[in-house]
Amino acid sequence: MLFKHKTTDGLKVNLALPGHFLIPLVAAMTFLAALMIAGAYAGQNLAHRWSNGAASIVILQIPPKNIINSPENSISDTSTIVSDNSNKLASLNQIIELLSSSKELASFHKLSDQEINQLLTPWLHEDINHFALSIPAIIELHLKQNTIISEKLKNSLLHINPDIIIEQSNFWSQRLNILANSLQSCAFLALFIVTFIAAIVIAIATRTGLIQCKQTIEILHNLGASDHYISVRFARRNAFLAFIGGWIGSIFSIPLLLFLTYLTLPFSSNPNWEIIYQGWFSFLTLLPFNLLILFLILPLCNYFIGWISTTLIVYYWLRHLT
């Protein structure tokens, strides 16, 4: 009944709900929503990256004991170097043994001389093997959860080597994480506001259409047409317009989003981001798939927002009509 006789009940919903008003408005709302979703997605990625990255990393600097503690050893000779190396090795092995048995670590990695060299060359301007001072051993710890290193592990490490330096970067990373989460929350709030405004716009358009069709609706109601019948007639029209508006808004948002992705990709956790400079096709392969799916879903979301807000306003209006 609802679909078969749509043109023979006298309800001219096409005229009562003209597309030239609703489609551009919904398209504009969808465009904004697409930007909000992209922003929320970027915020989520950033928060995830920070919480799983820098926040869970602890750097251990293990200086050789006897060099730092004994001023007389500061003059380098062959016997001291041998002693230094053996002490350093013993201390390091103990630490590695301790870290291997620790349950609070996801993993740890001792930086090789080559890696340290690569890291320090820009500052030292020479190879560390030719450097007069001995360079501390560096171990990168990855904690299992985004927590701080336990006092027990810290004390055990200090017991092996009291001069060990433990650098935990979670103070700033936690704050950055909070900032990223706040940005994400703001994006979701803005998305909610945009959705709410879209629903209000649809509701106002529906109310105008209902007033235009009031006489026919009253006659239909008096002939026994249910609230559901009338609401479906309006909801189908508005949902269709919202769907079309959704597609237009989504399509218009794509070029801007591609440009923003191009700008922000170097900050992402994607290790292959550098290939964006190799050409458009390479760039397109790096686009987040989830986000593309989301933009396909946007018009469908609009359809349901259109349907639900129209149905609610029609039911409300009909209850006040009779």
Partner 1 sequence: MIQLDNVNLYYEQSSPILSNVSLYIPQGSFCWLTGSSGVGKSTLLRMFHLEIKPNQGHIQLLDTDILKSRRSTLCNLKQRISIIYQDFKLIPNLTIYDNIALPLRLQNMDETIINRWTNRILQWMNLQNKTRLHPKTLSGGEQQRIAIARAIINRPDILLADEPTNALDEEQVLRLMDLFYDLNDLGCTIIIATHNDNLIRQFPAPKLKLEKGQIKVDDAIQT
Q: Which residues bind partner 1 (CB under 8 A)?
A: 1, 4-5, 8-10, 12, 216, 219-229, 319, 322
Q: Least separation, in Å, of the C-beta of 215 and partner 1?
A: 8
Measure the CA–CA gap between 139 and 111, rounded to whole angstroms.
Answer: 6
Shortest gap between Cβ of 273 and partner 1 (angstroms)? Answer: 59
Q: Are strands 57-62 and 105-110 parallel, antiparallel or unpaired?
A: unpaired
Residue 313 C-beta: closest distance to partner 1, Å: 16
Contact 306, 314 (CB under 8 A): no
Beta-bridge partner residues of 110:
139
Q: Would you state the structure tokens that stand for residue 9, as one six-digit string?
A: 């009940």
CB of 35 to partner 1, least distance (A): 42
Give least dist CB 5 to partner 1, A: 5
Shortest CB 4 distance to partner 1, Å? 8
Select 220 or 241, whichever has its Cβ closest to partner 1. Answer: 220
Q: Are 94 and 160 in contact (CB under 8 A)?
A: yes
Closer residue to partner 1 (CB): 13 or 276: 13
> Which residue number, 3 or 123, has a Cβ lying nearer to partner 1?
3
Q: Mention every residue, 6+ apart, whose C-beta is less than 8 A from residue 181.
A: 43, 47
End-to-end CA distance of the chain: 23
Measured from the CB atom, is 114 or 322 closer to partner 1? 322
- Identify the three-state secondary structure at position 24: helix
Q: Which residues contact 257 (CB under 8 A, 6 or more apart)?
A: 34, 35, 38, 291
Nearer to partner 1, 95 or 318 (CB): 318
* CA proximity to 234, closest of 273, 254, 264, 207: 207
| Nearest CB to partner 1, comparing residues 34 and 220 | 220
Question: Smallest distance from the beta carbon of 237 to partner 1, in angstroms?
Answer: 16
**Between 228 and 236, whose beta carbon lies closer to partner 1?**
228
For residues 177 and 47, the answer to whether their CB atoms sit within 8 Å is yes
Backbone angles phi, psi at 32, to 5 degrees: -65, -45
